Amino acid sequence: MSEPPSRAAAPAPRVPILPYSRIVGQEDLKLALELNFVSPRIGGVLITGQRGTAKSTVVRAFALMSGGELPVTLPINATDDRVVGGWELDSLMRGVAKPQPGLLEEADRKGLLYIDEVNLLDDHLVNIILDVVSTGVLSIQREGIDLARQLSFGLVGTMNPEEGSLRAQLLDRFGLMVAASELDLAERRRMITTVLTFEEELEAEDSAWLRAAQDEDDTLRTALQAARDRLKDVRLDESVSGLCAEAAELLGAIGQRGDLLVAKTARALAARDGHARVEPDHVRRVLPLALRHRRPDSAHGAALTWGPDEDDRVSALFG
Amino acid sequence: MSASPLRPLPAADAGQLPRRLLTALACAAVEPKLSGVLLFGLPDAHLATVAAVLDRLLAGPTGTPVPRTALTAATTDEDLWSRPRVSRGPHGIDFALDPGPLTEPVPGPSLVVVPDLARLSVPGKRAAVQLLGADVATVEQSGLRRRWRPAARWLAVCRTEDVPRVSPHLLDRFPLRLTAPDLSIRPGDTPLGPLPAAWTRALDRARSTGPRPPLHPADDFASRVLELLDDQDGTGQRRALALARTARALARLDGAERLTADHAEAAATLLRLRSARNPSTEPPPGPDTVDTARGAPRILPGPWPDTDRRPAPGTPVLEPGPAEPIGLGRAAGPWPTTDTPYPEDTAGPPPEDSPLRTPARRTTGPRAARGPVVGVRPARDLWDLAPVRTAMEAAKYRAVRDRSERLVILPGDLRGYVRAPEPVRTLTLVLDHTCREDWDWHAALAPFLHWAYVTRAPVHVVEVGGRGAPNEVRAESFTALSTRSPRIAAALARPPGRATPLAHGLQLAEQTLRRAFQHHRAGLVEALLVVVTDGRGNVPLAASRRGEAGRDAVGRTGIDDALAAAGRISGMDRTRLHSLVVDPGRQPYPELPHLLAEALDGRVVPGRPEHEAADRGR
């Protein structure tokens, strides 16, 4: 029998999520998450896509890469006491009344609330989240709790449009929206090999493959953190902010939030790419992310697509 | 099973269904990522046997059964995620909230059995979507929070003709799928056949907690996997990964040191992918024991001899069964399911609108299935306890009851929820846009929308023949929580298109009504179906299923299909379902709305102002 591994060599329990740097394809999706990290005031990302397009994996991998832990996750069957907060039942059983913060407060601390299958969320939970996100205040008067807290966090949601659409009010609360894309044949080959390799390496005592991926993740996190730090120095000229408004109007974006989101996202992109000022190309690149879900027909449950018509209109504006 | 004599697989036996099923179950046991096994058409009588085999594969030589949970049409969230425990202790009642069965409180694999996937409750389906194949899972319920790495294996059965009823989103979560209507099992300890010795060793290794030797894919492995996929351009990556992981499981069972294209082919053969059945890609017949020195599989699940009883491609596996009562009715018409692992790919409309969403209602709540909580009162029994209020009640007397640190809950402290009765009404509105011409139908529909507004009824709208529909030969539907939804106004204003898929529209209405009756049970006190049409359906149901109009003359088929769909609706609960046809009064076939109303067992309401004038004149 071989000797048991020493304590130092014992593998730490690993989170079984593919490292962010090893995710194949999904460039738009990654871009949206990275921009939301660089500029948290963007307010979150809604990710739609057909089944099996690795939406949840990308979100979890990004959270692990950027924050070192899995995101605060609101499962679709959560009870409202866990969402808004309540009492710790075990303590209560011992006669000690100990408050148990809910997921919304935890999201406030960590900056992000992740809702998997967000379009399957029960309406009463949607109402609670909408109340908090729109007012910035969590107010609880129930089961002996009476408190009001200022909360702020970004929403990241994933959904499969086959299972229905999202209420317009909730849709509007996501700063960006992105559709998970299909992989081409070469990417699919790479994806299969990568996933199988990852699953094998996960069980190894010491994996050079995982260490290399972790190093790349660390490098990316450092770069994104630096971009976040220099965001405030990125200039947004009046001509470019006018372009943002013009593009939003051209695409029929509802309300003023679209204009602002285009400008904030373009600025985040400039910061991520190391530019000192926002260029028209930055604006053009982020338009589908910021405006896809803000067009008039989105309120009527239309498919939230971005097609040649939109591209043509954008081309006419940007030349 | 492991105690039975081990022997190499006889080649003539290798292709039989029991052997394939045993192979699939062994793959699921050896590979945690293959966590869902879905069997189409498995006879009810065999489910217990198949579950016992999987149980023993997971349990190993100790024979101690793994934890098992059955999910049915009656499963609720409270059954799945947390489990209140009240017991009598030496100092009174002990109370605790334990993790529920799906949170896998016991380390190691467990088994979840779903006897009828199509009739699984919405909470059960949502749980499946959350857990099957997930890297991590989270529960946040009633003071309980838990995050874990799912290791449960799901064994589900779906009747062949029910496939259209199940969400593709849910089906997609099952990586291992077999069609098994003709399964014959043998008596004794090995109902699916004996387990090869190599597999027993592989399963033992899979159960051990130590690291196992890595099994890396060969260079051509991924390419071969993609070549073998039936739908290489299909959406999502789960099928490719399912095939690759099945290949890896076969390689592990075989004790191989490298994952090769041969394993991918063996997996495709096991799953009955069409490409694997193609003679040009099927490996040549030969002994199923090959040289492992080259890394090729020793024991493959194929190639399958001609004695296999699989039907030819295109042959329905099961004839449709007899009609069923309301709420659990079978899908309309035969479903052309063949021996393919992906029957949902067969051309057809989506099964129903948002099947994993809780049906719409105006008064929702975490326990809305039994009515919203409107208060708390002393408990009369141990059902539906209010845990926080119970503990708080006991906590008040803690100091006087017991000087120790323990909280003592006495029967008098128990509190239960008071729930309001929950009457639910629904309005289902079928709008045939092609019957409007210059008719302003708002006035004709206003009374029904007013009824829905007053009774807080959700409105399910089915649009037939609207301009701009993604597919003009299919109807579209959506659910609005209230009549104030702008989507209803948009639907009422939609201009007409060219085709009238009335039969498909009525089928969507039927599915919605069945779902409402099934989900709300006694709570649904009244369902109103309003069909606005001239009855001139010109798209046969088959064309809607295919998603394209045929080249042959349609004749009366579209109308007859619509009348047949209406006939199925008429079989529902007459005491709660009321059907109306709003007649636009179009010529030259004024009798069609009346025929439709008759088929619906409803009545005709004149829609145009001319009719109202005539009525007033009389």
**CA dist B121 to A51, A159, B72, B351, B459, Å?**
21, 21, 6, 16, 22
A293 pLDDT higher than 90 = no
| DSSP H or E segment with residue B118 | none
Minimum CA–CA partner of A55 in chain B: B236
pTM score of the predicted model? 0.70
The two counts, helices (H) then strands (E), for chain A are: 13, 9
Interface A:B, Cβ pairs < 8 A:
196
Query: Do the beta carbons of residue B317 and residue B339 sit within 8 Å?
Result: yes
Interchain pair A95, B398: CB under 8 A: yes
Nearest to B141 among A16, A78, A162 (CB): A78
Interchain pair B140, A70: CB under 8 A: no
A153 pLDDT higher than 90 = no
Interchain pair B226, A188: CB under 8 A: yes
Query: Do the beta carbons of residue A183 and residue B237 sit within 8 Å?
Result: yes
How many other CB atoms are found less than 10 A from the CB of residue A154? 23
Cα(B93)–Cα(A219) distance, integer angstroms = 56
On whether any CB of chain A is under 8 Å from the CB of B496, the answer is: no
Interchain pair A75, B139: CB under 8 A: yes
Query: Do the beta carbons of residue B541 and residue B483 sit within 8 Å?
Result: no
How would you classify residue A52: left for phi > 0, otherwise alpha for psi between -120 and 50, otherwise beta? left
Among B residues 337-356, those touching chain A with beta carbons less than 8 Å apart:
350, 353-356
Nearest to B237 among A124, A144, A191 (CB): A191
CATH topology of domain A20-76+104-179: Rossmann fold (3.40.50)
On whether any CB of chain B is under 8 Å from the CB of A82, the answer is: yes
Residue pLDDT, tens place only, B224-256: 999 988 665 555 788 999 999 999 999 999 889
Cα of A55 to nearest chain B Cα, Å: 10
Cα(A228)–Cα(A233) distance, integer angstroms = 10
pLDDT tier at B430 (50, 70, 90 boundaries)? very high
Q: In the annotation, is A257 catalytic? A: yes
B210 pLDDT higher than 80 = no
Residue A92 vs residue A243, higher pLDDT: A243
Interchain pair A120, B357: CB under 8 A: yes
Cα(A181)–Cα(A32) distance, integer angstroms = 13
Among A residues 198-257, those touching chain B with beta carbons less than 8 Å apart:
199-201, 203-205
For the segment B462-472, the average pLDDT, to the nearest whole number, is: 88
Residue A197: closest CA among B252, B225, B214 = B214
Interchain pair A92, B395: CB under 8 A: yes
Residue pLDDT, tens place only, A202-226: 888 888 999 999 999 999 999 999 9
Which listed residue (A167, A190, A257, A284) is catalytic? A257
- Single-letter amino acid, residue B518: Q
On whether any CB of chain A is under 8 Å from the CB of B365, the answer is: yes
Cα(B262)–Cα(B247) distance, integer angstroms = 8
B431 pLDDT higher than 90 = yes
How many other CB atoms are found less than 10 A from the CB of residue A138? 21
* Mean of per-residue pLDDT scores for chain A: 85
On whether any CB of chain A is under 8 Å from the CB of B141, the answer is: yes
**CA dist A312 to A304, B72, B128, B397, B484, Å?**
17, 51, 42, 73, 35
Minimum CA–CA partner of B131 in chain A: A75
Pick the CATH number of A232-318 from 3.40.50.2000, 1.10.8.80, 1.20.1260.10, 3.30.70.1450: 1.10.8.80
CB-CB neighbors (< 8 A) of A16 in chain B: 135-136, 149
Cα(B493)–Cα(B389) distance, integer angstroms = 51
Query: Do the beta carbons of residue B203 and residue B63 sit within 8 Å?
Result: no
Q: Which residues contact B421 (CB under 8 A, 6 or more apart)?
A: B371, B523
Cα of B160 to nearest chain A Cα, Å: 22
Cα(B393)–Cα(B598) distance, integer angstroms = 59
Annotated domain spans of chain A: 20-76+104-179, 232-318
Domains of chain B, earliest start first? 11-209 (3.40.50.300), 371-419 (no CATH), 424-617 (3.40.50.410)
Quote the ipTM score.
0.86
CB-CB neighbors (< 8 A) of B140 in chain A: 74-75, 78-79, 82-83, 103
Minimum CA–CA partner of A162 in chain B: B354
* pLDDT for the residue numbered A273: 95
How many other CB atoms are found less than 10 A from the CB of residue B54? 26
Cα of B604 to nearest chain A Cα, Å: 30
Residue pLDDT, tens place only, A53-108: 889 999 999 999 998 889 999 988 888 888 988 888 777 766 678 888 999 999 99
How would you classify residue B360: left for phi > 0, otherwise alpha for psi between -120 and 50, otherwise beta? beta
The two counts, helices (H) then strands (E), for chain B are: 19, 17
Cα(B204)–Cα(B198) distance, integer angstroms = 10
Residue pLDDT, tens place only, A244-283: 999 888 888 877 888 899 999 999 999 999 999 999 999 9
Nearest to B138 among A73, A83, A123 (CB): A73
Query: What is the b/e burial string over A36-52, where b = at least 16 CB atoms within 10 angstroms of the residue's CB?
Result: bbbbbebbbbbbbbbbb
pLDDT tier at B94 (50, 70, 90 boundaries)? low
The two most distant CA atoms of chain A are separated, in Å, by 73
Interchain pair A79, B357: CB under 8 A: no
Minimum CA–CA partner of A99 in chain B: B143
For the segment A16-45, the average pLDDT, to the nearest whole number, is: 92
Q: Identify the bridge partners of residue B37 per DSSP, sorted by sequence position.
A: B155, B176
Alpha helices (H) along A111-207? 123-135, 168-173, 185-201
Residue pLDDT, tens place only, B8-35: 333 333 347 899 999 999 999 999 999 9
For residue B547, the 8-state DSSP code is T
Among B residues 192-221, those touching chain A with beta carbons less than 8 Å apart:
211-212, 214-217, 221
Cα(B57)–Cα(B22) distance, integer angstroms = 10
Interchain pair A160, B169: CB under 8 A: yes
Fold agreement (A20-76+104-179, A232-318)? no
